[in-house]
Chain A
Amino acid sequence: MRVVIAEDAAMMREGLARLLTDRGFQVCAAVADADTLRSAVAAFVPDVAVVDIRMPPTHTDEGLRAAIDIRRDHPGVGVLVFSQYVETRYATRLLADRPTGVGYLLKDRVADVADFVDALTRVASGGTALDPEVVGHLMRAGRDRAGLTSLTPREREVLSLMAEGRSNAGIAAALVITPGVVEKHVANIFAKLGLPSSDGDNRRVLAVLRHVSG
């Protein structure tokens, strides 16, 4: 799997490149600003780009803007945006057109290498990876309106994991239950929230996110 990294802190950039190479990714380019990222993506057309939000020159949201451009210009390239803090607004901007091949994670998540690599792989293959923090924000914000209070605690856990972009198998592994039980929870959630049941993880994420974020 081919990946382009954009991160302005050299230490982090090199560490990421090392981690991903070690895990069998092919790191095509590791760049330090948004413009170089755009040209690197155009040149290599990787499977996925890992993009820091704050990069030179303004250190505000140039990474996010580059990520949105990449998603528009290269629909086949997955984009994993990562940052030291998560903003719900950024997540909604990123997911605005389609919640496929996109991720938004806290930088802290690289500490759990397996989870991080799993999320990156999911994004690269057209899936979704939303940070639990973002999902938590969205769920809290939409709590009353979205009827989430009618869910059992377990169902809320399953919903959060669904919103993060995990598959049934992923949810089952995370909660240490069988896939069959997960399916039952999912069906209950969709019924309680009045969502049309949909198969396929991506459409499911979209439905859940639209529901909680209104």
Chain B
Amino acid sequence: MTGDNGPMTALRAPFTTLALRQAVFCVVGVVSAAAVLAVPALVPALGVLILWATGAMSREPVPAVAPLFLVLFPLTVALLVVLAAPTGRAMGTVHRRLADRLLDVHVDAPPPRSSKQVGALVADGPGWRAVGYGLLKVPLAIPQGYGVFCYVFGPVNLSYPLWWPLFRNHPPGTQLGPVWALTPFGPLGARTFAGTFLIAAAGLAMLLAAPWLMRAGTAADVAAMRRLLGPRRLAERVRELQVSRARAIDDAATMMRRLERDLHDGAQIRLATLAMNLGMATEKLGTDGAPPDLAQARELVTLAHRGAKDALADLRDLVRGIHPPVLDNGLGDALATLATSSAVPVAVTVELPDRPAPAIETIAYFCAAELLANAAKHSRATRVGLGVMRSGERLTLTVTDDGAGGANPDGPGLTGLARRIAVVDGLMRVHSPAGGPTRVEIELPTHV
């Protein structure tokens, strides 16, 4: 539908549903621009409202103006700084949905805010880009406004010759003022029936021009949307990846250190002691002939035997901590095994048509292990639900419990999990009001 197909397309353009949908989009655009422009007027408006409500306006001179505005002004600036990004996000969401519905233009959602803290509200890159989009709405509203105006008043002006005979059937000689019509170039007056055809011609021109004006307005709007409302820009993504890479390296180093500590203080010391006990036992048994001290040798061998079993148990725990062997059979088996070792009864539902990448399975498993341990330790829950669902290229791990709630998403345990899953662009949502119940959702890509 690009006008290159001939004059017929251009003539038909105003009567397509696309034109109607563009018109709706443009109207919303103009309203949004007006709202954006109204924001700076909030302080004086609020001040005047308070002065009026308290009756201070009626006194001469108005005594409370300066102090009131001294309070209101910084307050409003602070509110603007804190609320701008979330408001921008909300407005951006509305516009993305509108573009999707009305213009068939799909803009991907920006990544969600990292947390609910005030700091994250302010340091929210995508939110501020949405604010930028809001400010751009003001110049964008000019072609959009003109387009809608032409689209609405074009047919109105076009119809003037029809209305003239109905309302201007006065007896000849009656003195009447001209009939006014609105055009983009100012009002146009007609005193005679012939004059209405001039208005009608202007209306036709407006009607034909309207789709192009609206199209220009929406095209510019969509371009702005793609740049400002979509997923973050490359530079931001690179920064994010740098952060998550640094975390991954840190975590790997921490893990190696912990592993060394566990081996050093566990299996290694047990084996050294075992070797020592066996060394002593060997001496007690002597090199040949009758053992010099059989009773002690027996006791030492028993000690060594127990030491060997303890060392094995230590190593088994350690190995399971590195990579649970049952995970090789898939996440379903691994989570079922995990559930059986939980102190609180766990209902497991795993719906996976095929297996995710091994790294994702491992992350999901350790997240589930950590969340189950949390539920058992802190929540006083009597039942825990553990679910894995797959939708498209995403896998969602859900852990729910009927416990006391109040899990802190910014505590060390959950932030540790959040760090781990951020490495693979995963997301975590924690819903845990005081009094419960708790629901933690972890969304992971199925492939890295």
Contacts and interface: CB of A to CB of B under 8 A. Distances in A.
B264 A11 contact: no
Interface in A107-151: 107-108, 110-114, 116
Given A11-B273, A11-B307, A108-B275, 17 more contacts: A9-B269, A11-B270, A12-B272, A12-B273, A12-B276, A18-B280, A19-B276, A19-B280, A84-B269, A107-B272, A110-B275, A110-B276, A111-B272, A111-B275, A111-B278, A111-B279, A116-B279
Contacts of B282: 113
Contacts of A54: 264
Q: Which of B273, B275, B277, B282: most chain A CB closer than 10 A?
A: B273
15 contacts: A9-B269, A15-B273, A16-B276, A18-B280, A22-B280, A54-B264, A84-B269, A84-B272, A107-B272, A108-B275, A111-B276, A111-B279, A112-B279, A113-B283, A116-B279
A59 interface: yes
| A interface, over-half SS | helix
B383 to A, nearest CB: 40
Interface residues of A, number: 19
A9 B265 contact: yes
Nearest to B283: A113
Contacts of B265: 9
A26 to B, nearest CB: 18
Contacts of B429: none
B280 A108 contact: no
A54 B277 CA distance: 22
Nearest to B275: A111
Q: Which of A12, A111, A113: most chain B CB closer than 10 A?
A: A111
B269 A11 contact: yes
A114 B287 CA distance: 13
A15 B277 contact: yes
Interface in A19-40: 19, 22
Interface in B264-318: 264-265, 268-270, 272-273, 275-280, 282-283, 296, 307
Interface of B: 261, 264-265, 268-270, 272-273, 275-280, 282-283, 296, 307
Contacts of A111: 272, 275-276, 278-279
A18 B303 CA distance: 13
Interface in A130-188: none
A59 B261 CA distance: 9
Nearest to B264: A84
A22 B276 CA distance: 13
Contacts of A11: 269-270, 273, 307
Nearest to B269: A9
Contacts of B307: 11
B201 to A, nearest CB: 91
Contacts of A112: 279
A9 B275 CA distance: 15
A173 to B, nearest CB: 16
Contacts of B278: 111
B297 to A, nearest CB: 12
Q: Which of A12, A15, A110: most chain B CB closer than 10 A?
A: A15
A13 B261 CA distance: 18
A9 B283 CA distance: 24
5 A-B pairs with least C-beta separation: A111-B275, A110-B276, A111-B279, A113-B279, A9-B269
Contacts of A15: 273, 276-277
